[in-house]
Structure 1
Amino acid sequence: MTSSEEKQLEEELSYPILVAERVRSAVGEADAYKFECNEVSKQVDRLLQMLRTLVRLAASPSLYERPVRRVAAETSKNLERALTLVRKCRRRSILHRVVSIVSATEFRKVLGHLEASVGDMRWLLSILDNDGGGGGIVVSLPPIASNDPIMSWVWSFIASLQMGQLNDRIDAANELASLAQDNDRNKKIIVEEGGVAPLLKLFKEATSPEAQIAAATTLCRLGNDLERVRVIVSEVGVPLVVQVLGDSPIRVQTLSANLVATMAKHDPVAQEDFARENAIRPLVTLLSFDTAIDEQSGKQSIHSLVQINKEMGKKSSDRSVSKQFTSSYSSSSYTYSRGGNYRKDRENEDPQVKLQLRISCAEALWMLARGSVSNSRKITETKGMLCLAKIIEKEQGELQFNCLMTIMEIAAAAESNADLRRAAFKTNSPAAKAVVEQLLRIIKEVDSPSLQIPAIKSIGSLARTFPARETRMIEPLVMKLSNRDTDVADEAAVALTKFASPDNFLYVEHSKTIVEYNGVPALMRLLRSNEVNQLHLDHGLTLLCFLALHAGNSESLEQARVLTVLEGADRTAVPPHLRELVSRTIYHLNLYHTGMNSQRISSYLP
């Protein structure tokens, strides 16, 4: 809290004290309603005493200000009402007495307002100086929050979180986690009322895993919205999360990875900030724990991962995270090689707990890679793809799925970025070979659409990396065109389209290979299926047109009556964006089948 903010709070508290003193003076000058004025004076005296106590508490640097400002502002309004009323009771001329008519009802209203302020002040002092220690949880309801009890609970919990002893802070964090679990409105109130900063401070308590778990649980529940994540980022939360991720007990690391995942999922700024703070390397290291990577799969192994971690750790320890952050974390700036402090504990931990850590790390990598070329590149630079491929091969369930989704995002990034594609998916790269092998295995052997679809998407994204002689990935995709799950069949059509598209340098060779593997009959069956929706129809038609244009001399096209199907589609429901392609394909097929010369045919090829 800066000196200017302290001054503002002192001014905010001095104003109601000034008004209260004026009320007392006005009561002494009152000529009418003396009994009622004296009752007002009694309430004002109580308020004065409590306001002066509050001023003394305000000197504390850890004071939780939000409820103080709200209660002080409401108390000032009620004192102003009392001052206006009491001044009407002063000795004045007969004319003023006639004009300024005062009733007992007005006094009852003002006394009610003052009693409410006394109740608010009593509650406020109880949460700020509970039992003289400060920061205890108080669940009573002050009048100011009578219409919104959640507000008073949040104030009480945050005050305890910010000002209490460690056990009180843990209890308060758990209470906030329960509130955050109920609905988004509660989450919004917690963030707006300043709960993020003390939660991050509690998350930093390396001596108490219980405190870190309580804080991380609450932060995870708050971090599922862009605006709330931005608040965590603005409070310098990203470097702290990475630091805790690097060197903490396994359960704390799991929640740290969850926090990385949820923040990166909802905020692209956080996604990039985590990568900038080197969150990817410890995530890969933790994910690869208990995973034996065959040295024959590539020269880079777990040993190389650890070596890279040590080197990067030295760099990160020399770098100041930010001026604001340096004072708190300078001597303990995150170096994930320090994770050895808990290595023995991790080795002896329950297998389910270790599995959950790896699941969380895999999800965090997935969210960091999603839509980000730079983050995907960093994952490949840590040799994380070998680890991902091994887990996809050996594991099942959520861990396998998260690793597969990470690969899918890396492949999508490589599709959009030629440099990444060339660097990470070279044909002689052990990591790339291992990944492709597992993708093909999933497509061919695993009967699960939730796994087959990301595997098919990944192969499609990598279509431009495969040479013409590499035909083994086309056959399983052609087979999936006949899959009973229409979503799997449609993804296979999309992937094959990327092989046959003119954007692919080898589109002619790939198109011929698709036709050779009986892709046309399978595609025709897909288009005739009653379950195919318009989107699936678009994908199937696009692929069929590419095959007809690029492998038009194939007898299978004529035998499958492709021309007839396209002419029928052209007369019915071809979407505008495909109309030109379909028409051009029909014209091309008509030219070919009427025996016109090849030179004229070639002029219509894309």
Structure 2
Amino acid sequence: MANTDFPPQPPSSILPPTTMVQHHKTIQQSLALQILLADRLVKSAKEVQPSKLDCSDLAKLATQLAHLLRSTARLVSSTTATFYDRPLRSIFSNLSLNLERAQTLVRKCKHRSGILRQVFAITTTADVRKVSNLLESSIADIKWLLSVFAPDDNAGVNLSLPPIASNDPVLAWVWSNIATVQHSTQLKDRIDAANSLASLAGDNDRNKKMIVEEDGIPPLLKLLKDGSSPESQIAAATTLCTLATDREKISAFVRSQAISTIVQVLNDSTTIVVRTNVINLVSRMAGIDSWVQEEFGRENVIRPIVTFLANDIVLDDSTSGGFHLSSSLSFHNRKETEPASPEEKLNLKISCARALWVLSKGSLSNSKKITETKALICLAKLIQHESQELQINCLMTVTELAAVAESNAELRRQVLKPNLPAARTLLDQLLRVVNHETNPKLVVPAITTIGSLARTFPAKETRILGPLVSKLDHEVSDVTNEAVMALTKFVCPDNFNCVEHSTAILEFNGVPRVMGFLKSSDNIKIQVHGLKLLCYLALHVPNSKALEEGGVLSVIEGGARSIVAQYPEMKELLAKAVHHLKFYQAGSHAHKPAFGV
């Protein structure tokens, strides 16, 4: 059933990003505080008399810290892009504590006097050593930070380990790689760093979570959007796809404006491999989060995807009429596409078909957008001429579109009625698959699609039911099960032509095939569908000789005794079917009813 109750607004966890000016201001304020603390420590340490305690080392360390912090401030102010501040904030958090601890110790030294001075000096010397070690660690952290953000051109990615990350080396690698992706002036280093993040993310979910929590998504999106080279965009898209594994992580994507960025990149890209990777990212995100699925549709991601899918497909006027298609979709990208191999072109189409499959699943708005383009006729052509994964993905897309249409009369009437040229071409291919294909991965979705559209077929459409009936004795149970469920939709009372369809099923020798199906099936849920089918046939054409000669009354009565306890909702239908058959069949009074009718 189509899911139409998506929220019009993003989840509450998705907040607008901080502007670059605000971002830099916040960092500069934090730096100013750390510099103030370091300068204060220098002054206090120098005021301590050597006779009380030698604090000269603390003064030297604080002076070095103040110098490094000012270098960091100059680096931040010279950065035109948003500064990657996650390691900076973590380092400052520790530094503040270390500076405050040092200041407290120096304050004690300044005011300590009397007969306990000698004892105090012994204990405090150890404290000074501890504090000195902490300040040295902070100095090492900031030196590492500067080496990451302002490396030598030939230094590459910094893989050294700062003291702050000594207990978790992965954190340092994550920081270093994210910073390189965000700030490096060397494109090769940015690509290598993005690939390193992909490798780390591929190791385990903890690493994925760490990369997301340490704000790795915005730099990757920036690398994707920059379009400096196809290789850089592929690296960014691949890494982002590796990170997009659950709704929590995808919320971070949305907070970083990922959806609009991805659609823009898709529209602007001229490289087929880049398009393929970006569309794979769309599929991954939309398949996990239904709000994201709808938002991609609102951002009009469907238009470029259908455009790429339709590339190289020849469409004649006889199959594309009735949709005003020339105005709804341009089949020529605004920018010239770079040359690509046949394999790359095929992979793009496979990804496009998969994306349409995911975007249409349960979504009425996206399904409408897809059917407003030339997608249906393109899908039909690809089902006809392609094979394997592309053919399967196209069939699954059609199946999802039909599933949405099954619960929406407007979509069925306007787009998927068999008398419309595109829909009729699609139906021809579905029937061809059912009649001639042997792969259940193709046959099953084709049957499912026909079943979902059962209410759109007129009574005179006799070519539909014969192939479905023939699949009731198929050797693959998935095929027979799907055929039973599809036929049930043709004869259920909700179908306006249920009587005519029931008559056609009987004419196609459906009764013995349904009876054989019930005998061979050991799945009670599927047996219920088989019994429903028999009951509907009995209700619509109870005087049929085929029903009487096939012993349908006995089967329904036996089924009633065996399944009503588990499926009480079947009791009324079974009772009505028994009543109808007994009324029309001679000698049926000899049968004892399974329950009161």
Query: Shorter-chain TM-score category?
Result: 0.7 to 0.9
Show the counterpart of 2:140: 119
Deviation of the 1:141 alpha carbon:
1.3
Amino acid at match of 1:242: V
Contact 1:128 1:136 in 2 (8 A): no
Distance between the aligned counterparts of 2:273 and 2:247, measured in 1? Answer: 26
- The root-mean-square deviation of aligned C-alpha atoms, in Å, is 2.9
Deviation string, structure 1 residues 58-108 (Cα, Å, up to 9, x no partner): 213422111111111111112222222333333335598689993555444
Show the counterpart of 1:77: 97
Change (3 A) 1:156 1:503: same
Change (3 A) 1:110 1:268: same
Show the counterpart of 1:512: 503
Deviation string, structure 1 residues 209-245 (Cα, Å, up to 9, x no partner): 2222222222222233323333333333333323332
Show the counterpart of 2:23: 5
Distance between the aligned counterparts of 2:176 and 2:430, measured in 1? Answer: 53
Contact 1:456 1:495 in 2 (8 A): yes
Change (3 A) 1:557 1:33: farther
Show the counterpart of 1:317: none
1:188 pairs with 185, 209, 212, which one?
A: 209
Deviation string, structure 1 residues 315-371 (Cα, Å, up to 9, x no partner): xxxxxxxxxxxxxxxxxxxxx8444422xx44xx31111111111111121112111
Amino acid at match of 1:184: D
Distance between the aligned counterparts of 2:154 and 2:30, measured in 1? Answer: 21
Distance between the aligned counterparts of 2:122 and 2:575, measured in 1? Answer: 90
> Where in structure 2 are the equivalents of 1:32-431 lying within 5 Å?
37-59=55-77, 60-62=79-81, 63-92=83-112, 94=114, 102=123, 104-131=125-152, 137-165=157-185, 166-247=187-268, 248-299=270-321, 308-310=328-330, 337-342=332-337, 345-346=338-339, 349-431=340-422
Aligned to 2:473, what secondary structure does the other structure show?
coil
Q: Answer with 241-250 or 350-359: which moved more.
A: 241-250
Amino acid at match of 2:424: K
1:557 pairs with 537, 547, 550, which one?
A: 547
Aligned to 2:198, what secondary structure does the other structure show?
helix
Deviation of the 1:161 alpha carbon:
1.2
Show the counterpart of 1:601: none
Deviation of the 1:143 alpha carbon:
1.6
Identical aligned residues as a percent: 49
Greater RCO, CA 8 A, separation 6+: 2
Amino acid at match of 1:283: I
Tell me, yes or no, if structure 1 residue 577 matches structure 2 residue 569.
yes
Distance between the aligned counterparts of 1:93 and 1:182, measured in 2? Answer: 58
Q: Answer with 71-80 or 587-596: which moved more.
A: 587-596
Deviation of the 1:401 alpha carbon:
0.8
Show the counterpart of 2:524: 534
Show the counterpart of 1:14: 32
Distance between the aligned counterparts of 1:71 and 1:431, measured in 2? Answer: 62
Deviation of the 1:468 alpha carbon:
0.9
Contact 1:501 1:546 in 2 (8 A): yes
Tell me, yes or no, if structure 1 residue 24 matches structure 2 residue 42.
yes
Distance between the aligned counterparts of 2:228 and 2:91, measured in 1? Answer: 36
Deviation of the 1:135 alpha carbon:
10
Change (3 A) 1:427 1:410: same
Deviation of the 1:51 alpha carbon:
1.6
Deviation of the 1:31 alpha carbon:
6.1
Amino acid at match of 2:389: E
Query: How many aligned residue pairs are there?
Result: 566
Q: Answer with 29-38 or 455-464: which moved more.
A: 29-38
Contact 2:42 2:60 in 1 (8 A): no
Distance between the aligned counterparts of 1:426 and 1:587, measured in 2? Answer: 36
Contact 2:322 2:421 in 1 (8 A): no
Change (3 A) 1:51 1:136: farther
Distance between the aligned counterparts of 1:578 and 1:361, measured in 2? Answer: 42
Contact 1:127 1:136 in 2 (8 A): no
Distance between the aligned counterparts of 1:467 and 1:238, measured in 2? Answer: 42
Amino acid at match of 2:529: H
1:523 pairs with 506, 514, 518, which one?
A: 514
Contact 2:43 2:59 in 1 (8 A): no
Deviation string, structure 1 residues 473-508 (Cα, Å, up to 9, x no partner): 111111212122212111111111111111111112
Change (3 A) 1:445 1:18: same
Distance between the aligned counterparts of 1:506 and 1:196, measured in 2? Answer: 54
Amino acid at match of 1:429: L
Tell me, yes or no, if structure 1 residue 543 matches structure 2 residue 533.
yes
Q: Answer with 135-144 or 98-107: which moved more.
A: 98-107
Change (3 A) 1:583 1:357: same
Change (3 A) 1:562 1:282: same
Change (3 A) 1:135 1:538: farther
State the TM-score, normalized to the length of structure 2.
0.87
Distance between the aligned counterparts of 1:104 and 1:584, measured in 2? Answer: 97
Distance between the aligned counterparts of 2:321 and 2:298, measured in 1? Answer: 27
Aligned to 1:505, what secondary structure does the other structure show?
coil
Show the counterpart of 2:593: none
Deviation string, structure 1 residues 293-328 (Cα, Å, up to 9, x no partner): 344434489xx8666445xxxxxxxxxxxxxxxxxx
Show the counterpart of 1:315: none
Contact 1:137 1:157 in 2 (8 A): yes
State the TM-score, normalized to the length of structure 1.
0.86
Distance between the aligned counterparts of 1:414 and 1:407, measured in 2? Answer: 10
